Structure 1
Amino acid sequence: MSADKQDIATGGGAHRFVGLAENLEHHAGRPSGAEPPNVRGDNRGYGLVFFQLDEYHLTTVISSGLRFQSIGADPAQELACTVYREQAEAARYLVDLTAQLLVEMGTHVTPDQVIPNEQPLLANTEFHGVLAGGHPLFPAEFTRFTDADGVEQLQVFTLLPVTLGEINFVLDNGVSALRQQWARFEVDVFDLGRPSVA
């Protein structure tokens, strides 16, 4: 398929993301696997790519293709979730679930947005939602991808699981206060076995 046809097939403008894969790999580690958009049969509009950061024993799952969907985001968006390697399947599930929600609703995430859920998102946990924002470990260049001219083309929002208590805490005190609580109690936000701070 030619580049022009590829642009048309993916919603146009793929050239804006030249160097994105290398940028993600530079921060998130070596690619270790991928899940195609049609993994469940129909094309869901995005795939998932797995990265391993061996130094910290972390896996980051990042959506690939959400940026070409009609979700009203400017700049375009992708989603990420970083956890300890043993919990990679949970990160895959959280990115897939959230991306699917955005595609179905034709909407996008905003910085420090909490996306709640009535039931726990993961079995045997208190996580009732995710907080979308910058990455707690990676630099701003991971979250905000710019083209060769320095124009921001993409934001990669990192999903941090939050408990029901933490969601209620955010409603009363705001996201900044929750981040302060995490810092105060030295919460490891990459550990899905962590306790709630609220």
Structure 2
Amino acid sequence: MTTEQERTAMGGAHRFVGLAENLERHAGTPTGAEPPNVRGTNRGYGLVFFYLERYHLTTVISSGLRFQPLGADPAQELACTVYKEQAEAARHLVDLTAEVLVQQRTHLVPDQIVPNEQPLLPGTEFHGVLASGHPMFPPEFTRFTDQDGVEQLQVFTLLPVTLGELNYILDHGVTALRQQWARFEVDVFDLGRPSVA
């Protein structure tokens, strides 16, 4: 038996007409997909891989969170952009974060930090992600509107943050961390980057 919220979340797929083309326009050529049942049971979302050859960047985007009863208005999907060689790490970050949202039936808000006690990626200091607009793609990537200009979907980009940066955010705020990233010319797409805090 489905709740009213679940029926609302599942219905209205017509609101997303043109979404695939919009994502492709900004994130590049689709290169693969992982179905919702890749681990046996349906996890409630799939993953789609895009490649932007000009910048050697892979973007992994969730597909299906928008139909889950997460309480988000507008609906949400997640993305993570990294250099092509690091695509598996981006897949892991999007999958892990999406899984948390589905299990907890919750959603993200702009500039939200999703922390983790252990490193999210082996051999790194990344202990969390920052839910953000995309640092390089235009606002049309982050905020998808229907033909009438009504916002139907937000695509939150997950920016990995180190333990030091998480603590810096707690002390100084997200804006201050972004200023540090700009000051030190941090390449947020490089998972081999040093921490600025």
Q: Which category of TM-score, normalised to the shorter sequence, fits these structures? A: over 0.9
Q: 2:57 maps to what in 1? A: 58
Deviation at 1:187, TM superposition (A): 0.2
Q: Which runs of 5+ in 1 are unaligned?
A: 1-7
Deviation at 1:127, TM superposition (A): 0.1
Deviation at 1:67, TM superposition (A): 0.3
Q: Which runs of 5+ in 2 are unaligned?
A: 1-6
The number of residue pairs the alignment matches comes to: 191
SS for the counterpart of 2:193 is: coil
1:170 aligns with 2:176: no
Deviation at 1:150, TM superposition (A): 0.1
Deviation by residue 1:50-94 (Cα, 9 ceiling, x = unmatched)? 000000000000000000001110000000000000000000000
Deviation at 1:184, TM superposition (A): 0.2
Amino acid at match of 1:82: T
Amino acid at match of 1:73: A
Q: 1:91 maps to what in 2? A: 90
Q: 1:49 maps to what in 2? A: 48
SS for the counterpart of 2:47 is: strand
Q: 1:136 maps to what in 2? A: 135
**What percent of counterpart residues are identical?**
82
Q: 1:147 maps to what in 2? A: 146
TM-score by length of 1: 0.95
Amino acid at match of 1:50: F
Moved over 3 A (4+): none
Deviation at 1:156, TM superposition (A): 0.1
Deviation at 1:183, TM superposition (A): 0.2
1:126 aligns with 2:125: yes
Q: Cα RMSD over matched residues?
A: 1.1
Q: 1:5 maps to what in 2? A: none
Deviation at 1:114, TM superposition (A): 0.5
Q: 2:159 maps to what in 1? A: 160
Q: 1:109 maps to what in 2? A: 108
SS for the counterpart of 1:115 is: strand
